[in-house]
Chain A
C-alpha cells in the first residue's frame, strides 16, 4: 500500500499507539469524578484514524474493490450474492483495517458504558469482515470481535445470542487451524510500521490467547445456561490450553484444577477427579519451594509468599481428602446390604465385573486424557498411580485409599492449625473421622472396627467440649450428633462381640458396664444436641425450624431407643429408663400430630414411635406389678 510508507501513515501509527496507551495504562489513573477521561481521549484518536483511513481509500481509488470471490458465509447469514473479497487482497486488508478501528471504537464505547454505540461499532466491524474471507491477515479480528459481542450480549442477559457469537468464533478458529494454521497477523500490527512487526512466536501467542478467552467465555455462557456438563468441559479446555501454551500462574491454575476435581467427584467421576487433582499437585509444585520460616522473618515478600504457598497447597490437600472420602463412601454404598453390613455376594459380583471391565478401562483412559504439557505429562501420570480411581472392594483396597486420605489430612492440618483456623481445622477433622468411618465398614474384625470408631471419638470429643457454643453453635451441633452416633455404633459392636463370644443370652458384668457406658454416652450427646436448640432461658422450642426439624426428631427418637436398651437389674432404674424412653417416643408422635409438615420428614421413625407408644406402657405396667408383688 502506497500510504504505508508515507508521513501520514506514520502519524496514524503514532495515534494508534497513543490510543492504546491511553486505554490500557493511563485510564487506570483517571480521577473519580472524571473516570473515563483517558478513554474519551483515546476515542477521539481512533475517530481521527478512521477518517485518515477513509481518505487514503478515496485517494487510492476503488480499482481493487472487486477482489476475488471466496469462501462460505459466517454466522448463518445467507449469501447476499455479492462477490466476497479475499482477506489477503489489498481491498480485504483495507476492510480489515477499518474493521479493526471499528472494533477498538466498539470496545471503547462499551468500556465507557455506552453499550448501544459499542454494539453498533462492533457490528460495523462484523459487516466489513463479512465482505472478506478468513485469512491469516484477519482471522484474529474475526475472533476478537465475536468475543466482544459475546460479552456484550451476555451482559444484556441474552445468553443465546452471546452463545451464537462465541460458538462461531470457536468454529472459525478450528477451521483456520485446520486449513491454514500459520501464525496470523495481530490487529495491532495493522497500525505498526514495518520495523515493529511481531515475531511469529508472539503472533501465535496472542492468537491462541484470544481463543483461550473464547473458551473461557463459553464456559461462563454455558454455566449461565445451566449446561453444567458443557461448562465443565470448557473450563477444562481453558485450563488445558493455559497449561499447553504456558499462559498461567501455577498456584492459580492448580487451585482451579483442584476446584474442577470437586465438580467431577460430586458427579461420581473419580477418574477425571483424580486426574485434575494430580495435575493440580504437579502444577502447584511449579510455583517453587515454600520459603523457610527464617526467610519469611527476613522479608515481607518472602513471608507473603510463604503464606500463599502454604495456604494454597493445604487447599489442594483438602480437595484430595474429599476425593478419598467420597470414593470410600461411594464404595460403601455400593457394597452394603439393607442393614448396613458388607454384602459379600455383591462384593464378588463387583470384583468379577471389574476384571471384565479392566481391559476396556485401559482403552477408555487413553481416550479421556485431560491435562498435560510436554513437561508435566509424566509427572501427572505418576501422581495418579498413587491412588485408586475405581471403587475399593475390600479392606486392603479401602485401606490404601484411606492412607492416602489420612496423609493429606496431616498435610492440611499443618497449615490449618486449630489456633487461628478453628472452622477449617475442625472440618478437616470431620473428614478424617469420615475416612475412619468408611474404612471401618470394610474391617471384618469387630474389635478392630470398634477401635476405629474410638479414634473418631478421641479426635472429636475434646473439641466438641472446648468449643465456644455461642460462636460455633452449628459446628458443635454437627459434632454432638456425630459423637452420639459413634458411641451408638460402638455400643452395637460391643454387643455383637459379646454375643458371639458368649453364645448365650447372659452377658457378664464387665460387658454390661461397658455397654451401658457407651449407651449413656450416646444419649448424652443426643441430649446435648437437643439442649442446643433451647432458648437462653432453657426452653425447648415449640416449633422446630426447618433446618433442624429432622435432626431434632431423630435425636428424640434415638434417645428413646437408647434408654429402652440400657441394661439394669434394678426394677426402679428399669422403670425410670422406660419412662424416659416413653416420654421421648410420645414427643415424636405428638409433635407430628400437631405439625403436619413433620410426619413425612421422619416417616420410619414416626411409625416405630407409634408402635412403641402402644407397647411400652404394657412393659412398664408389668414391672410396676412385679415391684408391687415384691414389696
Chain B
C-alpha cells in the first residue's frame, strides 16, 4: 500500500506535519504517550495500522522537531516567489481540530507579535512577499510598481460571509471574463506592508470568532479563505504591462467534521431525516454517470463553493500546497488515517485540459 512520490511537475504538493505530544492542546489525548505513527524518511510516514503498518508517501513529511522556519521554506517560499512572477498560489491547511493547523499557519497565539520565532507560515509569507516587492521597487532601473489588496471570507454551509465586513449578508460567487471567479461585494483592503496585511488578517480572524458564537456558526465546520491580490505594473517604452496574481491561504474545516458531508465514501445517505426530499438521490446518480467513454454530459449539481472559488488553484497554472497536520497520539488513529488518506487523494485532484481533438479525416 505504498504510493509513489510524484515528480516535480505536479501542481499540487502535499506536506504532512506531525505535531509534538507535549504542549497542552485541549485534546483529550494529552498525556497519552502511545504513538500511532513514525516518520520514516523526509517523505514517508508509517502508520501503525492493524494487521500491518501502512506507509504513506508525500512530497514532504515533517516530524515533531521541525521548525516553523523550515516549514515556511519548504511550503511557502516557492509559492510566494511564483506569485511575484504572476502565478496564482494557494496554501491549504487541513487536519483534525487540535492537530496544529493554527500553530502552523499563524503561530502560537493570535497576537500581532511579528518577531516571534514561532510565528507561522502566514506572517512569514507576508514578510517575504513584501521583502521581494521592496527589493524589486528599490532596484535603480526599476519602473515597476505594486498594488496589494486583501480580502477574507468564510464559507459555512455553502454560504459565503465576509469576515472584513461582518454586517454584510451572505455574498455570491460570480465570474467575469477578465477577472475570473470572485466574490461579489467582498471588501478589499489595500495594504502596504506585511504588518498591515497581518492586521487585516487578525481582524478577520477575530471576526470569525465573534461570528461563530453570535450567529451559531462553528468555525471548525467552516472554511476560511484569505486572499491577497498582487498587481504589478511595469512600463517599458510607453507600453504598460499589468500582471496580477493571487495568493490564497485557506483554513479548511476540521477533518473530523468531514464525516458529516459527502466525503465519506460508502456511507448510505439516509432519508429519514430528509423525509420527503431525496435530494441526495442526485448524488447517487451523479456517481453512475461516467465520462470515460468519451460522451459529453451535463451534471445538474454544482461544485461546492470552495472548489469553485479555488478552481484555478487545483490544477492548471497555479501552484498549490496542502499542509496536512496530524496528531501522533494513538487515540487519534482514526482521524490521522483519514487525514493521510485525504492528503493522498488530494494529489489526484487535477483540472485536466480535455482537448476535443479530432484527428479523423485530417490525417489522410
- Distance (Å) between the CB of A348 and the closest chain B CB? 22
Interface string of A470-489 (1 = CB under 8 A from B): 11111001100110010010
Q: A128 near B: Cβ within 8 Å?
A: no
Q: In the complex, which range does the number of interface residues on chain B fall in?
A: 35 or more
Q: Are B281 and A238 in contact (CB under 8 A)?
A: yes
Q: Are A157 and B266 in contact (CB under 8 A)?
A: yes
Q: Are B357 and A550 in contact (CB under 8 A)?
A: yes
Q: Are A477 and B355 in contact (CB under 8 A)?
A: yes
Q: Are B177 and A315 in contact (CB under 8 A)?
A: no
Chain A residues whose C-beta falls within 8 Å of the C-beta of B358 in the assembled complex: 485
The contact of B282 among A256, A339, A470, A473, by CB within 8 Å, is A256
- The CA of A560 and the CA of B176, in the complex, are separated in Å by 36
Chain A residues whose C-beta falls within 8 Å of the C-beta of B88 in the assembled complex: 470
Q: Are B351 and A220 in contact (CB under 8 A)?
A: no
Q: A519 near B: Cβ within 8 Å?
A: no
Chain A residues whose C-beta falls within 8 Å of the C-beta of B363 in the assembled complex: 604-605, 608
The contact of A551 among B180, B271, B355, by CB within 8 Å, is B355
- Distance (Å) between the CB of B6 and the closest chain A CB? 11
Task: Given A258-B300, A260-B285, verify A266-B293 contact (CB < 8 Å).
Answer: yes
Q: In chain B, residues 335-364, which have Cβ atoms closer than 8 Å to a Cβ of chain A? A: 350-364
- Which residue of chain A is the closest to B86 with respect to CB atoms? A536
- Chain A interface, DSSP helix/strand/loop, else mixed: helix
- The CA of A157 and the CA of B266, in the complex, are separated in Å by 6
Interface string of A495-514 (1 = CB under 8 A from B): 00000000000000000000
Q: Are A232 and B181 in contact (CB under 8 A)?
A: no
Chain B residues whose C-beta falls within 8 Å of the C-beta of A15 in the assembled complex: none
- The CA of A151 and the CA of B267, in the complex, are separated in Å by 8
* Interface-side segment among A74-82, A245-253, A442-450, A578-586: A245-253
The contact of B174 among A258, A420, A468, by CB within 8 Å, is A420
- Distance (Å) between the CB of A519 and the closest chain B CB? 13
- Which residue of chain A is the closest to B350 with respect to CB atoms? A547
Chain A residues whose C-beta falls within 8 Å of the C-beta of B362 in the assembled complex: 485, 488, 558
Q: Are A266 and B297 in contact (CB under 8 A)?
A: yes
Task: Given A239-B281, A266-B295, A481-B356, verify A259-B267 contact (CB < 8 Å).
Answer: no
- The CA of A64 and the CA of B359, in the complex, are separated in Å by 81
Q: B167 near A: Cβ within 8 Å?
A: no
- Which residue of chain B is the closest to A433 with respect to CB atoms? B356
Q: How many A-B residue pairs have CB under 8 A?
A: 198
- The CA of A109 and the CA of B282, in the complex, are separated in Å by 29
Chain B residues whose C-beta falls within 8 Å of the C-beta of A266 in the assembled complex: 289-291, 293, 295, 297
- Chain B interface, DSSP helix/strand/loop, else mixed: loop
- The CA of A558 and the CA of B295, in the complex, are separated in Å by 25
Q: B115 near A: Cβ within 8 Å?
A: no
Chain A residues whose C-beta falls within 8 Å of the C-beta of B359 in the assembled complex: 554, 604-605
Interface string of B300-312 (1 = CB under 8 A from A): 1100000000001
Q: B111 near A: Cβ within 8 Å?
A: no
The contact of B317 among A224, A232, A329, A470, by CB within 8 Å, is A470
Chain A residues whose C-beta falls within 8 Å of the C-beta of B178 in the assembled complex: 466, 468
Q: B141 near A: Cβ within 8 Å?
A: no
The 9 closest A-B pairs by CB, nearest first: A340-B361, A471-B180, A422-B175, A262-B297, A551-B355, A266-B295, A315-B300, A154-B268, A318-B298
A-B contact pairs, 16 of them (CB 8 A): A155-B267, A212-B271, A213-B271, A216-B278, A220-B269, A238-B281, A259-B286, A419-B176, A420-B174, A421-B174, A470-B245, A470-B312, A471-B312, A473-B316, A550-B357, A605-B359
Which A residues are within 8 Å of any B CB, using their own CB?
Answer: 32, 150-151, 154-155, 157, 159, 162, 209, 212-213, 216-217, 219-221, 223-224, 228, 231-232, 235, 238-239, 242, 247-249, 252, 255-256, 258-260, 262-263, 265-266, 268, 312, 315-316, 318-319, 321-322, 325-326, 329, 336, 339-341, 418-423, 430-431, 434, 463, 466-468, 470-474, 477-478, 481-482, 485, 488, 536, 543, 545, 547-548, 550-551, 554, 558, 604-605, 608
